[in-house]
Amino acid sequence: AQSVTQLGSHVSVSEGALVLLRCNYSSSVPPYLFWYVQYPNQGLQLLLKYTSAATLVKGINGFEAEFKKSETSFHLTKPSAHMSDAAEYFCAVSDPLGGGADGLTFGKGTHLIIQP
Amino acid sequence: EAGVAQSPRYKIIEKRQSVAFWCNPISGHATLYWYQQILGQGPKLLIQFQNNGVVDDSQLPKDRFSAERLKGVDSTLKIQPAKLEDSAVYLCASSPMGGGSGYTFGSGTRLTVV
């Protein structure tokens, strides 16, 4: 069974500061990994995904994440936070070898707060 | 490209009533998923369809929840009878070929059971 742990239910950073959202996963096989952002009363928007290609993945809105197999981590970063980045962020994992059953397993989410 | 369409956007029902949600995936996407997102939590997979067949329904509470995907396109998710703990956002997602090709989510249906 797969699982995802997001450290910190709330993260607060100042505008212009580094954003770091932590995600660790548990999987018996190298998984596919995803970061999604959710704004209030909206669906989930894909930020970036790792599907066994380059370990450093660049996404939209200046976000990137690095897959570290030895640490079973997939932390999300952005060099300089903007007010518009305030939202809920979800890390998710799917099993590429699940025999077709590849639904996402999500973490509990991290609420990102941007201080002016 | 049109996104994943869901309706209704909001629904309020009394406990023990029934309710149905509808999802229209992106054209050509073979795989369709339903998720339940309880307030303050990450989404939880309820069921996955590949065309009109069920691939994974291991987390679907089958005593009250049912889903179908006729003709491999639109899908409906039904709850009968609803309980207070079913209050959540129900998200539909679709994918052309599964995980590696990415998933696109709809805006969801917010269900309140009173």
* Per-residue pLDDT reduced to its tens digit, A47-91: 999 987 788 999 999 999 999 999 999 999 999 999 999 999 999
Mean pLDDT (chain B) is 93
pLDDT > 90? residue A15: yes
Q: What is the amino acid identity at position B111?
A: L
Contacts of A103 in chain B (CB under 8 A): 33, 35, 45, 48, 56
Which of A46, A57, A102 to mutate to probe the B interface, most B CBs <10 Å?
Answer: A102
Measured between CA atoms, the residue of chain B closest to residue A108 is B42
Give the model's confidence band at B99: pLDDT under 50 very low, under 70 low, under 90 confident, else very high. Answer: low
Query: Would the CB atoms of A32 and B108 count as touching at under 8 Å?
Result: no
Q: How many angstroms from the chain centroid is the CA of residue B70?
A: 14
In sequence order, what are the residues at sequence separation of 6 or more whose Cβ sits closer than 8 angstroms to the Cβ of residue A52? A30, A32, A96
- Find tokens 């993260």 and name the residue: A11
Residues of B engaging A, defined by a Cβ cutoff of 8 Å? 4, 31, 33, 35, 40-45, 48, 50, 55-56, 91, 93, 95, 98-100, 102-108, 110
Query: Would the CB atoms of A106 and B55 count as touching at under 8 Å?
Result: no
pLDDT > 80? residue B100: no
pLDDT > 90? residue A101: no
Q: CA B106, CA B114: separation in Å to the nearest integer? A: 25
With beta carbons less than 8 A apart as the criterion, state whether B43 and B108 touch. no
Query: Would the CB atoms of A43 and B41 count as touching at under 8 Å?
Result: no
Of B55, B91, B102, the CB nearest to A101: B55
Query: Would the CB atoms of B56 and A101 count as touching at under 8 Å?
Result: yes
Query: Would the CB atoms of A109 and B91 count as touching at under 8 Å?
Result: no
Give the model's confidence band at A21: pLDDT under 50 very low, under 70 low, under 90 confident, else very high. Answer: very high
Task: Determine the pLDDT at residue B1.
Answer: 65
Q: Quick one: which of A68, A67, A81 has its CA closest to A19?
A: A81
Q: Is B42 helix (H, G, I), strand (E, B) or coil?
A: coil
Q: CA A109, CA A10: separation in Å to the nearest integer? A: 9
Q: How far is A90 from chain B (nearest CA, A)?
A: 7
Burial (CB < 10 A; 0-12, 13-18, 19+), residue B4, is: buried
